[in-house]
Structure 1
Amino acid sequence: MTLIRPTRRGFIQAAGFGAASVALGAPGLGRAQSYPDRPINVTIPTGEGGGADRDSRVFASVWTKYLGADLEYGYYPGAAGQVGYEFYMQRDKDAYNLIFANLGPEVIMLELQDTGIVIGEDIVYIQQISSEPMAVFSSGRSPITSLQQLVDEGKKRPVTVAVSRLPHPGSIGMLALAEATGANFVLVPYGGGNPSAMAAITMETDCCVLPMANPIALIDQVNILGVFAGANPAPAESKGAPTVNGALGTSIPNFDSSRAWGIHKEAYDAFPDRVAHLKQIMNEAVNDPAYAEAVKGAGLPTTFIDVGGEDVAMATAAATKELAAKYKTLLSGA
């Protein structure tokens, strides 16, 4: 059984943002080799308690029994993830520092913002663990209970849409929907999934668009109006929510995002044995039946588990980069 023992202390300050650290894992569980012989730091480019934090902890609850070391988490929200990535690039390139990425919004951010950080040259994503489509939802108390109603309302007045950050697949999806239907959607960034969802639930905004796991976790408080996918991957958990194209007869592309672990390219090149070990035990953990049980225990559909090694994760990043370039004008206009 994996032991989880939270601790709190001050974390390094970066770009004016604070961070909290949380130690996870059981440091004495039969290491097969000397690496790792101390805690591994994990940078999350969003706030504590958000979707990335949740998903990384679900994975860590299984992975740490293979890793045999603690994980110390630091949270660096800001500038659509740029603050976290810039902080990560300052950390030692020794394979004791990893980044847990939400590939959709973060690759889009790196493509649109002048960060100087290049995927493949500065960071390599070595393990993909999940993928999910974007979903638009309203409060369970809202008079807007269908996607058609949302579009109709958007033709009468500006409809506000809470988003976790502007460079995001969900943002692109709503802008593409506005372009296809003539509705007027105004994107309002809230700096994270939790505050974005709460803005919709409290009806501070008309609706919200986030990765589908978020409204599923809040299904008793929201109406999922549409899913940006060819087919709803979790119909039971989403109360049979329709796809956007199915509800409106549009031809909007699928918009989704994947979670993946990344590492500095310098560490990738300098410590191939360490990287190979990380890849091996990450793959073992994500394929462990205990991981699927942990996902279910978090109230998430196991259909979102989407396992892939470096080749899959980097291909996902490349496809997202193309998506960002294709919709750059829409995002810039927003």
Structure 2
Amino acid sequence: MNLAIRKFAGRAALLAAAALTAAAPVARAAYPERPIAITVPTAPGGTVDIVARIMAEQLGGTLGQPVVVNNKAGAGGVVGTQAARREAADGYNLLFTANSNQLIVPWVYKKPGFDPIKDFVPIAAVGIVPNVLCVHPSFPAKDLKGFLAEVKANPDKYRYASAGSGTLNHLLGEMMNEKGGLKMQHIPYKGVAPAMTDVLGNQVPMLFASLPSAVEAVKAGKLRAIGVSSATRAPLLPDVPAIAEQIPGFSGDLWVAFYAPRGTPQPVVDRLHDAIKTALASPALQQRFQQLGVTVLRDGPEQLAARQQKEFAQWKQIVERSGAAVD
């Protein structure tokens, strides 16, 4: 009897060991095991794309896997955001987007095809930048005060380009019309880069562009910076006034953040947040951000969720007042 018990116990131990051995690779498997794709719902060359590629490079080293950026532009970010929502919620498909695409567009489009709160899990906010009101060098006004006087004296004469209907640089123009008593006409494009191309070529005289996407053209004299959208002047362009200096209460910054499709496992979200936090602590990355005029944000999932909830409600009111709407 004792011998039988011992034999049974031995077989049980062998079976248990075999089971543990078989499970070991699964237990040892650590995320990520393969490349990660980041969907950017804007065209190449804009701030979201620029910062996404900097972060992808940094995260690739931190996570030990390639991180690839896929631009899917169109309809003010709707096309790319819808595509990201449909991806598998496994941590290998992320969304890197701006508050304008994520929180403004759903109020502008009657059927945006995504819910920014219900369809995505916040991971981390990365950075914040002002927009710059830029004009072609041939524009008759040389400064903000002269610009406001010129446009006010010529209602409906001047057009401004944007990255698309419902984007932040569209609504900044509408805000300037409302608060400054102007009448500028809006011309939407599929991204900041094509909009800027036409302003550089003087097909359209002006646009609001995020600081990282405009700073080189401004410094090269290809564009003239008239004012910044932040409440105070930007350190990268200290001689350019805040628009609020002439139009009290004018303010609107762009911030960018990482999201994942709803249902992404919490341990994966935590791993990604830790990797992003590590990346943002890099002195080399901080230096690159500073050169672009990007101020680092360090919102974790909870802080980012609170930030977007607050702004989502605020932008609803601004969109309704502007009358911006797309079927």
CA contact (8 A) 1:91 1:97 kept: yes
| Distance change in 2, residues 1:93/1:141 (3 Å) | same
Q: What CA deviation, in whole Å up to 9, does each residue of 1:11-48 have, x standing for no partner?
A: xxxxxxxxxxxxxxxxxxxxx96211111111111123
Q: Quick one: distance in 2 between partners of 1:316 and 1:145?
A: 36
1:1-334 matched pairs, under 5 angstroms: 34-113=30-109, 114-155=111-152, 156-158=154-156, 159-219=158-218, 220=220, 221-234=222-235, 237-238=236-237, 240-246=239-245, 248=246, 250-267=247-264, 271-296=265-290, 299-301=291-293, 304-333=295-324
| Distance change in 2, residues 1:224/1:163 (3 Å) | same
CA contact (8 A) 2:125 2:304 kept: yes
Deviation for aligned residue 1:253: 3.5
Identity of paired residues, percent? 19
Unaligned runs of 5+ in 2: 1-27
Q: Quick one: distance in 2 between partners of 1:104 and 1:82?
A: 11
Q: Which has the larger radius of gyration?
A: 2
| Bigger Cα displacement from structure 2, 305-314 vs 122-131 | 305-314
What secondary structure does 2:33 align onto? coil
Q: Which amino acid aligns with 2:277?
A: N
**May I ask how many residue pairs the two structures share in their alignment?**
293
CA contact (8 A) 1:230 1:254 kept: yes
Q: Quick one: distance in 2 between partners of 1:257 and 1:118?
A: 20
What secondary structure does 1:308 align onto? coil
Deviation for aligned residue 1:105: 3.3
| Distance change in 2, residues 1:240/1:33 (3 Å) | farther
Deviation for aligned residue 1:116: 4.2
Q: What CA deviation, in whole Å up to 9, does each residue of 1:111-157 have, x standing for no partner?
A: 33222422232102211110012221112333222222322232313
TM-score, normalization: structure 2? 0.83
Q: What CA deviation, in whole Å up to 9, does each residue of 1:211-246 have, x standing for no partner?
A: 222221322221111112221132xx3251001121
Q: What CA deviation, in whole Å up to 9, does each residue of 1:153-174 have, x standing for no partner?
A: 3231321111111212232222
Q: Which amino acid aligns with 1:323?
A: Q
Q: What CA deviation, in whole Å up to 9, does each residue of 1:67-106 have, x standing for no partner?
A: 1111232221111111111111221111111011112233
Hey, which of these two has a bigger chunk of helix by percent?
2
TM-score, normalization: structure 1? 0.81
Q: Quick one: distance in 1 between partners of 2:206 and 2:88?
A: 41
Unaligned runs of 5+ in 1: 1-31
Q: Quick one: distance in 2 between partners of 1:76 and 1:91?
A: 13
What secondary structure does 1:327 align onto? helix
Name 2:20's counterpart in structure 1.
none
| Distance change in 2, residues 1:176/1:301 (3 Å) | closer
CA contact (8 A) 2:243 2:250 kept: no
What secondary structure does 1:72 align onto? strand
